[in-house]
């Protein structure tokens, strides 16, 4: 039976406000979306089945905001949250605050950490594979590491990670279309993938579904009215 394809509306939060950044650069705000809790409630009214919450301050500083998680989770649908989750303690606190799934990025480069959190939290762990120039970007996308995205995906497969959230950072916030070659490369590791970065149209979402992705994150396209959540219902069947 075909796996359901899920669209994850993005709520990226910087200094307490919903924003969209071009290529993850904090000085390049392209959308200002207001209060995170109000945004979450609006997205749920529009039909969101999941929310993708990114604590940008947490990503840049390494200390996530648990109150932010509580406020967004109060909207009543499952939330996957990322941004600065680099210790098991912070991950546990996020789950206790209402998150259904926690994304780890920089910390996932440590094999011992990866095995520890998968053993401890199981399917509530997802790994963010943030790719830039053929390497995994870390520290809030400010640094390109030595690891290739496919290599990180294979490490995640070996550790039993339930899913990956794969972002082409050079496309994030650009509406330039997803990096299908990157997604296909990572999918070959055998771990379910949620694709992010560059989604601009419903056709982009269809292409990601056809490629075999479990879901996709959409941010700028949704906030700028390129399509409405009501239009993605048929894609999620």
pLDDT bin (cut points 50, 70, 90) of residue 1 is very low
User: Domain limits at 15?
Assistant: 6-227
Catalytic residue among 12, 57, 65, 179: 12
pLDDT at residue 27 in the model: 47
Q: Is residue 232 part of a domain?
A: no
Q: Is residue 233 part of a domain?
A: no
Q: Which of 81-85, 105-109, 135-139 has the highest mean pLDDT?
A: 81-85
- Write the pLDDT tens digit of every residue in 127-180: 999 888 888 887 655 556 678 999 999 999 999 999 999 998 888 767 889 999
Provide the number of structural domains found in the chain: 1
Cβ–Cβ under 8 Å, residues 70 and 98: yes
12 counts as catalytic: yes
Q: Is residue 80 part of a domain?
A: yes
Q: Is residue 33 part of a domain?
A: yes
Q: Is residue 237 part of a domain?
A: no
pLDDT bin (cut points 50, 70, 90) of residue 40 is very high
Q: Is residue 235 part of a domain?
A: no
- Mean pLDDT value across the chain: 89
Catalytic residue among 55, 130, 172, 179: 130
Which of the residue ranges 114-123, 131-140, 160-169, 218-227 would you say has the lowest mean pLDDT?
A: 131-140
What CATH number is associated with residue 212? 3.20.20.70
Q: Is residue 234 part of a domain?
A: no
172 counts as catalytic: no
Q: Is residue 102 part of a domain?
A: yes
Residue 153 token pair: 């995906």
Q: Calculate mean pLDDT across residues 32-55.
A: 92
**What is the value of pTM for the model shown?**
0.91
Nearest CA-CA partner of 194 in 144, 145, 130? 130
């Amino acid at each position: 039976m075909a796996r359901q394809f899920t669209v994850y509306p993005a709520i990226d939060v910087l200094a307490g406000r919903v924003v969209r950044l071009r290529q993850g650069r904090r000085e390049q705000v392209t959308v200002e979306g207001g209060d995170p809790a109000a945004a979450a409630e609006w997205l749920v009214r529009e039909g969101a089945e999941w929310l993708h919450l990114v604590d940008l301050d947490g990503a840049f500083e390494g200390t996530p905001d648990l109150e932010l998680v509580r406020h967004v989770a109060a909207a009543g649908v499952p939330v996957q949250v990322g941004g600065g989750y680099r210790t098991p303690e912070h991950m546990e606190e996020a789950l206790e605050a209402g998150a259904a799934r926690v994304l780890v990025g920089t910390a996932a480069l440590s094999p011992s950490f990866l095995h520890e959190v998968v053993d401890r939290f199981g399917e509530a762990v997802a790994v963010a594979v943030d790719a830039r120039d053929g390497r995994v970007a870390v520290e809030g996308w400010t640094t390109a590491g030595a690891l290739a995205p496919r290599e990180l995906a294979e490490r995640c497969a070996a550790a039993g990670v339930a899913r990956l959230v794969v972002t082409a950072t050079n496309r994030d916030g650009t509406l330039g279309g997803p990096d299908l070659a990157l997604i296909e490369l990572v999918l070959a590791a055998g771990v379910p993938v949620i694709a992010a970065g560059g989604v601009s149209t419903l056709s982009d979402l269809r292409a990601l579904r056809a490629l075999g992705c479990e879901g996709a994150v959409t941010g700028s396209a949704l906030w700028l009215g390129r399509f409405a959540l009501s239009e993605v219902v048929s894609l999620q069947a």
